[in-house]
Chains A and B, each alone.
Chain A
Amino acid sequence: MSKAVPRTDILLMICGLALPAIAQEAGYGFTLPATLSAGGMYTHAWEQSTPTAGPLEPGFQLMMYPSLKLGEHWYAYSAIDVNLSPYNLFQDNSATNRVKFYVIQAFVAYHRTKGSRSLTVKAGQLSSAFGSFPLRYDDALNPLLGAPATYGAPSYGNFPVTLYGLPGIEIDASLGRLDARIQATNSSPANPKNILENGQALNWTAGGGYTIRQGFRVGMSVNQGPYLQVGRFLRPSENSSQWPMTAVGIDGQWARGRGSINGEWQRFYYLYPRYIVSPVIKYGYLEPKVVLNPRLYVAFRFGYESFSDFQTISMAGPAALTPNRQVAELAFGYRINRALLVKAGYEWPHRDGTLNSNNNIFGVQLVTSINAISKAFH
């Protein structure tokens, strides 16, 4: 039973301890969300490139997003990736286990919103503005284990669009149902360079979209700029700006109820010196996801990549660049709690004219979302 409290004491106590009201949102502060994922892949895909590799390769990936809020309109954002490669197929084409470190994003931004209008200006290391997948490379956002075939490691000649950022500036704007962005970078998303490297050349990327209704948006993007480097296809006397890559993409996002679909179609046109017929790569994928119950979802991605013929001046006639390929991936996700997600997936890569199941991949990831770290300054 509680003791009777003299009322004068209550009054004095309350007056002495009244708390000043403080703002709920910090004007200035530091925040460090992170995603830690660990897992393994079972595949024979590595055996050709890395004979010492076993079929089972473990790995991890730590994505950290240290960011500063610098008042009402300014902020600094970064995305830092530390991983044990090959954690995902898109990180590399070999099974050479090593820890890698990437600064995917590190930029200062000015942001303003008024009603249905918004404007953001960013400068620094940026995700490519081409396509839609660079917005959701985090393992907690990507419902599957792999990435669409055209997105991947920052390696020259392997993937048309890097997922690992480019130095540049970008303006994003939205007005009602319309959104648009324009980005200027120091190099191509097909051959990214850091600001100290040789061979930098201005690349342009622009994109836009229209929200048909809430949850259904269609968009498009274009990229144009030099991508070749001396030593491979380019002679020292040649200027890369004469042979640019031109990429066009359309994308769509739909979500309603417990279902969502993401899709993209892209066309990459590569110009090379001493080519009569330059190659074209077309790629498209569709990615539906269904939430089966609050803890369980299933996601599927089917991608199709087609390669045109090409012909150099020394060839008698055009030849196929490489056989077309299809990649299908199925994954289940189980949420242990709000922070922990287990993903298990199977990927079937297939090239026309081959019947090789050695490249199939079974993978498991345990994804941990960490949102607790933040410090308000003011």
Chain B
Amino acid sequence: MCRTTSTVAVWLAASLFALPAPGGEIRGVVQVIDGLTKKRVTLPAYQSRGLAAPEPAAGPIDELTRVVVYLEGSIGQIKPVAGEIRQRDRRFEPEILAVPRGSTVSFPNSDPILHNVFSLSKLKSFDLGYYPVGNTRIVHFDQPGAIQVYCHLHSDMSALILVTPNQFYAQPSNSGAFKFAGLRAGSYTVVAWHKSAGFSRKKIEVPEDGVAEVVFEIPVVGSSAVRQERGAAK
């Protein structure tokens, strides 16, 4: 039941006793308080002939893997990264990827069947065509925002790339904790984004050489209403 107790205790201990990094720091926790992601109903890919299509992996849903936290605005220098979204077992892995503006994302195919990765997002549209197992295609992302990625051949495959405007982005740990260090004193907007719940913003004041704390509860809209409904149901 209380699967996050130990990790949250560690986080609390860390926030109480650890020495802060030079400059200001934002520490926070994201808690998903309701199941937001629908279970998929996936039938075998019977409408195909040829090589056997792999079955999608049936791992557990961890809502925190669908969350990205970042700071809004242009802050500091951007260090582009080389991200990767793999096509494996008729799924994109990972389903959510956060990269800073100017980064590249590689889309290797690990399946014995063909895929056709594409996006029609206004920020970045691309069609990577067909390529076999072991091959990849790389896409460059310049504009910050959310880019949805799909496969033309398998309509239940989807992924999302969140291109952040700066270097301060994170996916929460298993306990939901995240941290941004090395910030100058000032006002910041922290954004928590969940694939289904969307965006949640909180303004926070970071002191010089101090720690500011923030807590996000997802779903964002009417989170208290959700708790009330649960209470009423009991």
Contact = CB atoms under 8 A, between A and B. Distances in A.
A258 B63 CA distance: 35
A5 interface: yes
Interface in B188-230: 202-205, 212-215, 227
Given A2-B214, A338-B120, A369-B155, A26 B40 contact: yes
Q: Give the interface size bracket for B toward A.
A: 35 or more
Interface string A1-41: 11011010011011101110111111001110100000000
B185 interface: no
Contacts of B40: 24-26, 374, 376
B43 A69 contact: yes
Contacts, number: 190
A24 B63 CA distance: 11
A120 interface: yes
A75 B119 CA distance: 31
Interface in A56-113: 67, 69, 75, 77, 109, 111, 113
Contact of B59 (A18, A24, A375): A24
A294 B203 contact: no
B20 interface: no
A376 B38 contact: yes
A132 to B, nearest CB: 8
Interface of A: 1-2, 4-5, 7, 10-11, 13-15, 17-19, 21-26, 29-31, 33, 67, 69, 75, 77, 109, 111, 113, 115-118, 120, 122, 132, 135, 172, 174, 176-177, 179, 181, 209, 211, 213-215, 217, 219, 253, 255-260, 291, 293-295, 335, 337-338, 369, 371, 374-376
Which 4 residue pairs are nearest across A and B when measured between Cβ atoms? A29-B41, A376-B39, A214-B132, A118-B52
19 contacts: A1-B205, A10-B12, A11-B9, A15-B2, A17-B227, A22-B60, A23-B61, A25-B58, A26-B41, A113-B54, A118-B52, A135-B48, A174-B51, A181-B49, A217-B50, A255-B114, A374-B38, A374-B41, A376-B39
